[in-house]
Structure 1
């Protein structure tokens, strides 16, 4: 199925996420939606995938369809705050895993065993919130994540976005810096999407900053922040931005996690990611969306076909619903 055929056959959405820092919370959960705004939890609200490698926790999952459409890759942070005894004891940015947890699937129902792939450089203190996007220009995948490292000025560790390249999610090129905001300004949780011939990324860097570029490794231009768009949201309010496109529409969603209030995800909608004025952006009313009873923590949304949607719904109904 080529890209146009796939686009024309998209029907619903699969949300992969984790739910919290408690036992079983840091594993992979699935939810389905037909409209991208109202979600049904699968597998009786139990984990669909469990990490049995590394720290035995999987946070911040990101799901993508391979460029040739033959399989799916799921990446996650190798971290268990529960097994580390809670955030106050975790030292997760200093002694964290430098590996990513990776699963593969041909159909979103049958999954490989998890594997660890070391991604971050030796001087890094962690590898958090991985994502990947196919680089059409280079013919491979750009994988990126947040790592902490010692600040050169001695004021402590800072978070920066690193990247690597892969053809198969098994062998990766050496990590290199991708985005930095300077030694005293952390950047985490970057998400990238291609829309209308351009690449757009949103990053947590004190704001939720939106940038654009013609090339993944090109020069990026700051377009806006959620605050400058008039949405009254900064990095003190929300984190974990995640882009996705609505099927059959020139409309995109940007999910943000309302961590400051513990309210979970909120979708922000736009018909033009590149609009700097705010005219094309809006926060929907709470009655317009429903993420279900499970709290959705830092995850990702994948548009799927009707065949994929029905297979998931049928499998979890037959197996555990």
Structure 2
């Protein structure tokens, strides 16, 4: 039955509503009741799953990286992410607002994928939509059956939709944030078998105060966990059933600044659970927490050295995939033609140029392309490496009076030597990287007061200053 709520519904959503900035979005998924399937919380995993796919949209501080289509990234460990399609969208909605936020990817009971998302382009939080975007996909390489799914007739929004399989009902539930008759956001639910029509909406979770961004982990030792945003933090509730109204808050908050968009993911190789959230202060930084016991409701922050989000990514969804699906996604969409370099001792900072000076600065920033580099064979020695700017491709990082700056290649042997470095095992961590000057081989690239230069290094601080990760 299609959703239908009369104007006299007890859920009108009228009056002043909180701004989206005060309430933004999330992402997750839920397990399948199917032979050979593992419950991993946010997402359904086949026993053969060994990798992860992330969906997201993009925004950057000054809007240069804003894109409201579906973006994909992949990971083998669920922590270090590689964006696909050069961090461009793989599919873009054409109906409704012709843009999406808060995408969600779930593997359905038949092994194919469903993608749903908020119908909103940009940040006009006053725009209400009773619909969500929907795509079918066999493999996340092609997207078919694009449509809008109507969830209600209320004059309010349908933010951050996510889906789960309710085995007791034999239907999928679609949860989303909307406004109730008291004027605060609650988590609603509709039920569907085909993501084409849906039942009438019900209140799924209303603790009596404003909550958004519901994210479910289903059937974890007989308990279902719902994480959501409350008061700029991520908080959990739990229930032994999936019955609307049955969830009870229990956890301690997890937050780093104003945090939203919770995403629960269980490691495929250990008992560790990760809780992802992103912030709007500063804009769009992902943080991660970990726990070995969901029932405890307590979380420990993960060191930022251990994870790297796709550039400009916002409000992610994470699902598990097989090794073959990982390989096929990379073959279809391609790996980035550029890299980013992250500081070891300031892992929230990335190597960039600003005013043609080499620096490390806190992520995010615009122009975000200032931090994208093509690592090409060394101009003076092909066994080395040179750093070619993506947004100024005629320019390379080179040292001049030991300071690093972005200069145009003049074709001289002196420039080539100044712009060539030898990559070595990281001086502070051998799994990272350090870069030794070609023509001053006792000196390494390091940062001093956020500015890059080449220096001799010996102390623990200097070794850490000279260590970077090469990722995306």
Within 2, Cα distance between the matches of 1:3 and 1:51? 34
Please, which of 274, 277, 282 is the counterpart of residue 261 of structure 1? 282
Q: Contact 1:124/1:148 (CA < 8 Å) preserved in 2?
A: no
Residues paired across the two proteins, number: 293
Contact 2:87 2:336 in 1 (8 A): no
Structure with bigger gyration radius: 2
Which among 131, 135, 152 is matched to residue 103 of structure 1? 135
Q: TM-score normalised to the size of structure 1? A: 0.85
The separation in 2 between residues aligned to 1:117 and 1:137, in whole angstroms, is 23
- Check if 1:116 corresponds to 2:148: yes
Question: Does residue 164 of structure 2 align to residue 146 of structure 1?
Answer: no
On the 8 A contact 2:83/2:335 being kept in 1, the answer is: no
1:127 paired to 2:154? no
1:96/1:125 contact within 8 Å kept: yes
For the 8 Å contact 2:278–2:285, the answer to whether it is kept is yes
1:160-309 aligned within 5 A: 160-182=186-208, 185-194=209-218, 195-206=220-231, 207-217=233-243, 219-226=246-253, 233=255, 237-276=258-297, 278=298, 281-292=299-310, 294-309=311-326
8 A Cα contact 2:188 2:202, kept in partner: yes
Kept in 2: contact 1:8–1:248 (CA 8 A): no
Unpaired runs of 5+ in structure 1?
82-86, 152-156, 228-232
Q: Give CA deviations for 1:202-238 in whole Å, capped at 9, x if unaligned.
A: 11122422111111116222221225xxxxx27x621
Question: Per the alignment, do residues 73 and 261 of structure 1 end up closer, same or farther by CA in structure 2, a change over 3 Å counting?
Answer: same
Report runs of 4+ in structure 1 exceeding 4 Å deviation. 21-24, 318-321
Is the CA contact (8 Å cut-off) linking 2:85 and 2:335 kept in structure 1? no
**1:211–1:220 Cα contact (<8 Å) kept:** yes
State the Cα distance separating 1:149 from its structure 2 match. Answer: 4.7
Correspondence for 2:438: none
CA RMSD of aligned residues (A): 2.3
Partner of 1:68: 110
**1:3 alignment partner in structure 2:** 36
In structure 2, C-alpha distance between the alignment counterparts of 1:4 and 1:78, rounded to whole Å: 31
Gaps of 5+ in 2: 1-33, 39-44, 339-472
Write the distance in 1 (CA, Å) between the matches of 2:337 and 2:92: 16
Q: Secondary structure of the equivalent of 1:122? A: coil
| TM superposition score normalised by structure 2 | 0.59
Moved more, 140-149 or 40-49: 140-149
How many angstroms does 1:44 deviate by? 1.0
- The correspondence for 2:334, drawn from 305, 317, 321, is 317
Supply the distance in 2 between the matched residues of 1:117 and 1:134 (Cα, whole angstroms): 17
The one of the two structures with greater contact order (alpha-carbon pairs below 8 A, sep at least 6) is 1
